[in-house]
């Protein structure tokens, strides 16, 4: 069981390197620049933009009522009160929670790998302590999210 767990952890850590290697092989077709594009802070920022877009769509829907028929609005989709007042919030909160939870879980796995590496003297105490702090930060972010989390219904 522990062996399988370590294999999964190592696989997660190596995934980024393998991903970049794979993309380098296809560099004629794909131009790859990570530069934090797929990091949690950037994902949360983009989610904020999506939420703002949904708010704009809600305003547009309100402005269009009385000017467009109910049949036309229904064809557009996602124009009902339930979707806009409950769904939009719940959907985006589910994505945000998933991102934050996954980040926390990854930091937990990274700490377990770092602990094994520290015990086998593959990394020094500073590297191990840094990973512990990253986990503390991820847990605080997750706890803050969960304490504020509410499903709209």
pLDDT over 80 at 11, yes or no: no
Residue 104 lies in a domain: yes
Q: Which of 152, 138, 150, 147 is nearest to 101 (CA)?
A: 138
pLDDT over 60 at 117, yes or no: yes
Residue 11 lies in a domain: yes
- How many domains, in total, are found in the chain? 2
Q: Give me the domain span that covers residue 24.
A: 1-32
Cα–Cα distances in Å, from 47 out to 60, 64, 119? Answer: 20, 25, 39
| Segments in the chain forming alpha helices (H) | 2-25, 40-64, 70-76, 81, 88-119, 125-148
Looking at the structure, do residues 54 and 121 belong to the same domain, yes or no? Answer: yes
User: Of the ranges 3-7, 46-50, 127-131, 137-141, which one carries the lowest mean pLDDT score?
Assistant: 3-7
pTM for the model: 0.73
pLDDT tens per residue across span 19-58: 555 444 444 444 455 567 888 999 999 999 999 999 999 9
Residue 90 lies in a domain: yes
- At 10 the pLDDT is 55
């Amino acid at each position: 069981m522990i062996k399988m767990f370590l294999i999964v952890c190592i696989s997660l850590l190596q995934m980024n390197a393998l991903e970049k290697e794979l993309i380098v092989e296809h560099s004629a077709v794909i131009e790859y620049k990570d530069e934090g594009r797929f990091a949690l802070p950037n994902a949360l920022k983009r989610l904020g933009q999506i939420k703002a877009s949904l708010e704009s769509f809600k305003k547009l829907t309100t402005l269009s009522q009385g000017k467009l028929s109910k049949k036309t609005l229904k064809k557009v989709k996602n124009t009902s009160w339930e979707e806009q007042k409950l769904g939009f919030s719940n959907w985006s909160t589910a994505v945000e929670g998933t991102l934050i939870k996954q980040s926390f879980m990854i930091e937990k796995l990274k700490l377990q790998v770092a602990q094994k590496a520290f015990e086998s003297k593959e990394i020094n105490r500073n590297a191990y302590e840094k990973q512990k702090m990253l986990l503390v930060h991820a847990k605080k972010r997750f706890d803050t999210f969960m304490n504020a989390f509410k499903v709209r219904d």
